[in-house]
Amino acid sequence: MSVYKPKGSPYFLFDFQRGGHRFYGTTQETERRRAEAIEQAEIRKAEAQVRRDRRSRGAPMTIDIAAMRYWNERGMHTATARETERNLERLVEWIGPNTPLQDITDDTLAQLVARRRGQAKVNAARVKRPGKPLGPLGLVSPGQVNRSVTQLLRRVLTRARKAWKVALPDEPNWTEHMLTEPRERVRELRHEEESRLEAVERDEYRAPRLFAQITGLRRREVTSLTWRQVDFGAEVIRVIGKGGKGHEIPITPELHLLLWPLRGQHETHVFTYRCQRTRLCPTSKRRFVKGQIYPITYHGFSTHVRRGLEKAGVADFRIHDLRHTSATRTLRATKNLKIVQKLLNHSSLSVTEKYAHADLDDLRDAMIETAADSAARRLKSREKSRDGRHTQSKNH
């Protein structure tokens, strides 16, 4: 920016940025032209300093090196490590492995978002299932674009700037590239739907489905649950949730009855299934042998719940809606949104509100209750008015 004179000062000040650093101070000049000359001298000095700093640090850090460091320091330790790894590999490939971080600008990010937004969804198990006609899956959702491109690249560059002291003079304006995501859908598993589902679902997948529905844990937290995380003595289940946040779920009598019979089925994992036929998983390339017991998988759990819902005639229900069901039923029973926030391990109450929605039945009950209350108050008001007129007539 140009030199300026703050209120109450006789001197012009300079204030500018070079190489991701801010340079500011007084020119000690009262005339604008002489102050601008001082500013130009300071700019030349700042640019020389930035060049020296870059030379002293050697070659600029590339996106390939940054992604590798981020993966080793942060990414591989998250609950979504496999997904993070795939997304990092995509970013490196699309940006170009030798691209310096300083060259990643708003234009770079805009092109990445547009390219990702135009991609079709991929489901390896679905695509490679033989003998079944497949309809289009559609395009990658705005939420997936945000998480796999903008938010992930922002985490990498922010760590580079803050932890590795990499100057990023043209860092993108991240919020400008975030796509608008649709509002959270309103869906819970109705009790009559649950009864139909219980009649057709495989017994092996009923336990994890109920567990997810009771605890509100995410699919990944359910399918990866091990016996080391289940403490029957302390009556608590410990998981690492989204963002690496620790979370504890009490073992209620209902959960105890659900989990206790599963002991001994597998050495490490809580939820298991017996393989029905020898096959090769199209996603993991792992071979499964008929009759052997294996831990349930992330995608396998989704597939069997979806098939059960289809057989039961339950439409427009996703596996993540089990989490919505847990939140909504808990709120309906307790009327306590803070309890639901703790159940879902949310850091903000505003995030919880989109899960614990009031459905039409709740709204209908509330409106009926309001109407009854209003009618009672009107009746009471009329009685008071009638009693008042009666008292006045007696006095006359």
326 and 209 assigned to the same domain: yes
Instruction: Specify the pLDDT at position 124.
Output: 47
Domain range for 10: 3-56
310 and 208 assigned to the same domain: yes
Per the domain annotation, does 17 fall within a domain? Answer: yes
48 and 143 assigned to the same domain: no
331 and 203 assigned to the same domain: yes
Per the domain annotation, does 283 fall within a domain? Answer: no
201 and 349 assigned to the same domain: yes
Instruction: Specify the pLDDT at position 127.
Output: 46
30 and 48 assigned to the same domain: yes
pTM of the model: 0.62
25 and 110 assigned to the same domain: no
Q: Are 327 and 356 in contact (CB under 8 A)?
A: yes
Residue pLDDT tens, the chain, 396 long: 578 888 777 778 888 888 777 777 778 788 888 888 888 888 888 887 777 666 556 678 999 999 988 988 888 777 777 889 999 999 999 999 999 999 999 999 999 999 999 998 876 445 445 555 555 668 899 999 999 999 999 999 999 999 999 999 999 999 999 999 877 676 889 999 999 999 999 989 999 999 999 999 999 999 999 999 999 999 999 998 877 788 999 999 999 999 999 999 999 999 999 998 998 877 667 788 999 999 998 888 999 999 999 999 999 999 999 999 998 888 888 888 899 899 999 888 877 876 555 555 666 777 788 888 888 888 888 877 776 665 665 555
Question: How do 272-274 and 246-250 pair as beta strands?
Answer: unpaired
229 and 351 assigned to the same domain: yes
Per the domain annotation, does 19 fall within a domain? Answer: yes
- Rg of the chain, C-alpha, whole Å: 30
Domain boundary among 56, 76, 92: 56
Per the domain annotation, does 250 fall within a domain? Answer: yes
245 and 213 assigned to the same domain: yes
Instruction: Specify the pLDDT at position 23.
Output: 79
Per the domain annotation, does 172 fall within a domain? Answer: no
211 and 151 assigned to the same domain: no
Per the domain annotation, does 122 fall within a domain? Answer: yes
d(CA 241, CA 79): 7
21 and 73 assigned to the same domain: no
Per the domain annotation, does 280 fall within a domain? Answer: no
Domain harbouring 311, CATH code: 1.10.443.10
239 and 155 assigned to the same domain: no
d(CA 317, CA 253): 28
Per the domain annotation, does 304 fall within a domain? Answer: yes
Instruction: State the total domains in the chain.
Output: 4
